[in-house]
Amino acid sequence: MRGWIVLGMLLALNPLAIPVEAANFTVNPMQVVFTPTRKSAVITLRNVSRESLRFQIRVFTWEQSPRGEMQLGETTDVVFFPQLLELGPGQQRPIRLGIAGTFGDAEKAYRIFFEELPAADLPTAASASGVQMRVRVGLPVFVRPTDRGAALVATRGTRLADGRVMLRVENSGNSHVIVNSIRVRGLDAAGRTQFIRSVNGWYLLARHSNEYEIPLQPGDCAAATLAIEAIVERTTVRDRIDGPLTGCR
């Protein structure tokens, strides 16, 4: 087996302008990117419901566990205003953000959360079952490194065991990328595709690695070769497991 290292594609410096929609409100844009020459930003929060809505806004540091789970921590690196607000039906409000932390040699990642609060005249907003229902939307905030930043992605430890293809996708670069999916193609002796198994990916932060498991089905080990493809934005990182294959259930 072998992993091929490729240079990940750079994301545009401008944040995407696609609104994030919750049940009662929208947030636009869907991410914020700070650079050494762009140290402030505005997010527009809009109430699209017929009722007044109250919000709490908070920002956290964002790390990832080896399995890719989000790990949040307290921070004062990103300043923003307001922290609490109320919007009437159809109203919108700009949320102003700035970076108070320093720019380093690797990208920093944060998450900003917009949490809908219970109505001011009610102690709780509960569903018919008595469970309090709140909508919370989290957006990524990235602080780019002092240089342009790039992602360097590779697959590591690719193996077949217990009916699963297991591997680690590593980003040793100083900027994040998005792993769209991990795909396993079973090839016959002539190189023809016999089956495809895949799992979805997510963000892969700078200098982090995520572990993936792709379940196989009974009989998949009859393939001559497993071709592994990590689809990372517009780039494909390739690996393979050559037969005879063992480890299927």
Q: Clarify whether residues 132 and 199 are in a common domain.
A: no
If one counts the domains in the chain, the total is 2
CATH number at residue 82: 2.60.40.10
Is residue 161 located within the same domain as residue 139? no
Give tens-digit pLDDT for 23-47: 789 999 999 999 999 999 999 999 9
Looking at residue 20, what is its pLDDT?
Answer: 73
Query: 24 and 139, same structural domain?
Result: yes
DSSP string, 5-64: -EEPPPPPSSPP-PPEE-SSEEEESS-EEEBTTB-EEEEEEEE-SSS-EEEEEEEEEEEE
In a domain, 9, yes or no: no
Q: Are 114 and 80 in contact (CB under 8 A)?
A: no
pLDDT value for 148: 79
Q: Flag whether 153 is in a domain.
A: yes
pLDDT at 132: 53
**154 and 119 belong to one structural domain:** no
Residues 191, 113 share a domain: no
Residue 6 lies in a domain: no
Q: Is the peptide bond before 82 cis (omega within 30 degrees of 0)?
A: yes
Q: Which of 143, 175, 192 is the last residue before a domain boundary?
A: 143
| 53 & 139 share domain | yes
Binned at pLDDT 50, 70 and 90, residue 218 comes out as confident
Listed residues 143, 163, 178: the one ending a domain: 143
Domain residues for the domain of 88 are: 20-143
Whether residue 25 sits in one domain with residue 139: yes
**Does one domain contain both 114 and 168?**
no
- State the pLDDT at residue 206: 96
Claim to verify: residue 43 and residue 116 sit in the same structural domain: yes
Same domain, 160 and 58: no
Residue 69 lies in a domain: yes
Distance between alpha carbon 222 and the CA centroid of its chain, in Å? 35
Does position 6 have pLDDT exceeding 50, yes or no?
Answer: no
Please tell me whether residues 64 and 131 are part of one structural domain: yes
